[in-house]
Structure formats: structure tokens, C-alpha cells
């Protein structure tokens, strides 16, 4: 029995798999609710500037995690199969939490943000951990672990992941910039329902990553036994 491979052999394939995974865990719409609450006493110009800086910081966190996270773990002797299984577990767990209790997740992030002085909040906590926290980094590393072993496909793979990161950062900037209008159009309940749909998709991606990792681990054992 073999699993269907994820479509990471091209730029478009990597983009189509990475974008929904990153969108689900970053959740720009849910973050916009918290951003609007935290920055409610600031002028529109200040909020627009904060939104732009958060988008840039989020892009930096995503790119560093995607490009180097997997290699750092491999440096410590963690096999690709183990990395995929562990990353898939983290992704699935994060997705399950977002799927079942999005309200509690928003409240948790809000408490983390409120605990910090608002004079310098663009990176901490509005970027870390509100927008791109440990869960996002784990998802990015898990996606990077699915890179091809070698060849031109590796370049195309990381190009697709990078395009997904750029798209997510732009959505973060736009959602935070127009946070009030986003909430007005969708409503708090509509935003949370949309987040649940994306969380379910993220759960499926996490399970697929785990299956790929298990296949990597078990395939040599089965081949040796036969």
C-alpha cells in the first residue's frame, strides 16, 4: 500500500498545499479581531503603520522557518521521517484546538498581547506570538520537511513555499489594516466559522504529513523484511 504523494514537484503544487496550511494556522481574520481590540485607542495612521510592520515581520518569521527550520533540526540528527511525523502531530493538534475552541484561542492570544506595553508591540506580541507564534513555526517546518531529496524540484518547492509566505503576509497586512471593516462585514461569528473550516483543512494536511513520515520510517523496515 502506498500513499499518494503531495503535489510538491512544482512551484504551483507547493503553493497550493502550503497556502491553506499557513492560512489556517496564521488565521489573519481571527488575528484581525484581536488586533482591532488591542489597538482600538490608536489613530488610523498608527494602526496602518502597525499593520504594515506586522506584515513584514510575519513574512520574515515565515521565510526563516520555511528555509532553515528543517535544516536546523536535521543538523541535530533528527531524521526526515521523524521530523514529518512530529511536525504532522503538531499541525494536527493545533488544527484540532482551532477547530474545537476558536474563541478560547482568541482569548489566550489577547491575554498575551494585553500583558505587554503598547509602546513597542509591532513585533512582540502582535507578530510573535499573536500572528506567527510557535504553532505557525511548527507548521512551516513541517511543510519544509516535505522537500524533495535533491534536484531542481527542491528549488521549485521552496519557491512555492516562499510565494505562499508572501501571500499570507500580504493578507495579514490587509486584514489588520482594514480590521474594523473585516469584522463589520463578516461579524465575529462569521469569522470564527470561517476559521473552523480552514482549521479542518489544516487537520487533514497534518494527518497527510504524518502519513508521509510513517511511510518514510516503515518503508525500509518492510523492504528489509521482505
**pLDDT for residue 109:** 56
Ranking 59-63, 101-105, 165-169, 195-199 by mean pLDDT, the lowest is 101-105
Q: What digits encode the pLDDT tens for the residues 156-177?
A: 999 999 999 999 999 999 999 9
Any idea which residue has 520574515 for its cell?
Answer: 60
Q: What share of the chain is helix, strand, coil (3-state, %, to 5)?
A: 80, 0, 20
Residue-level pLDDT at 200:
82
Identify the weakest region by mean pLDDT among 95-109, 110-124, 136-150, 190-204. Answer: 110-124
Q: Residue 160 in contact with residue 15, Cβ under 8 Å? A: yes
User: DSSP 3-state assignment of 113?
Assistant: helix
Cβ atoms of residues 192 and 100 within 8 Å: no
Note whether 166 and 11 are within 8 A (CB).
no
Lowest mean pLDDT among 107-111, 116-120, 181-185, 201-205: 116-120
Q: Give the residue among 201, 73, 76, 92 at the shortest CA–CA distance from 147.
A: 73
Q: What is residue 207's predicted lDDT score, i.e. its pLDDT?
A: 84
Listed in sequence order, the residues at least 6 apart from 195 whose beta carbon sits closer than 8 Å to its beta carbon are 24, 27, 29, 30, 98, 102
Contact 212, 6 (CB under 8 A): yes
pLDDT tens across 46-81, in order?
889 999 999 999 999 999 999 998 777 777 777 767
Average pLDDT over residues 10-28: 89
pLDDT at 164: 97
Are the C-beta atoms of residues 143 and 55 closer than 8 Å to each other? no
What is the H or E stretch that residue 105 is in? helix 102-114
Cell 504523494 found at: 5
Contact 106, 34 (CB under 8 A): yes
How much is the pTM?
A: 0.71
State the pLDDT at residue 171.
96
DSSP letter at 3 equals P
Residue 105 pLDDT:
60
Q: How far apart are CA 30 and CA 158, in angstroms?
A: 27
By the 8 A CB rule, do 18 and 161 touch?
A: yes
Amino acid at each position: 500500500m502506498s500513499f499518494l504523494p503531495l503535489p510538491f514537484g512544482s512551484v504551483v503544487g507547493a503553493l497550493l498545499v502550503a497556502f491553506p496550511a499557513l492560512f489556517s494556522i496564521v488565521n489573519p481574520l481571527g488575528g484581525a479581531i484581536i488586533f482591532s481590540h488591542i489597538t482600538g485607542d490608536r489613530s488610523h495612521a498608527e494602526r496602518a503603520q502597525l499593520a504594515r510592520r506586522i506584515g513584514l515581520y510575519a513574512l520574515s518569521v515565515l521565510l526563516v522557518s520555511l528555509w532553515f527550520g528543517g535544516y536546523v533540526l536535521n543538523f541535530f540528527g533528527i531524521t526526515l521521517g521523524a521530523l514529518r511525523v512530529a511536525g504532522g502531530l503538531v499541525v494536527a493538534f493545533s488544527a484540532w484546538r482551532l477547530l474545537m475552541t476558536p474563541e478560547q484561542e482568541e482569548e489566550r492570544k489577547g491575554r498575551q498581547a494585553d500583558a505587554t506595553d503598547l509602546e513597542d508591540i509591532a513585533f512582540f506580541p502582535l507578530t510573535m506570538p499573536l500572528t506567527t507564534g510557535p504553532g505557525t513555526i511548527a507548521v512551516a517546518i513541517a511543510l519544509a520537511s516535505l522537500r524533495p531529496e535533491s534536484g531542481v524540484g527542491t528549488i521549485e518547492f521552496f519557491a512555492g513555499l516562499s510565494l505562499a509566505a508572501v501571500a499570507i503576509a500580504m493578507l495579514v497586512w490587509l486584514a489588520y489594516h482594514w480590521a474594523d471593516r473585516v469584522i463589520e462585514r463578516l461579524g465575529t461569528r462569521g469569522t470564527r466559522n470561517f476559521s473552523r473550516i480552514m482549521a479542518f483543512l489544516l487537520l487533514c494536511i497534518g494527518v497527510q504529513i504524518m502519513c508521509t513520515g510513517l511511510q518514510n520510517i516503515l518503508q525500509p523496515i518492510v523492504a528489509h523484511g521482505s
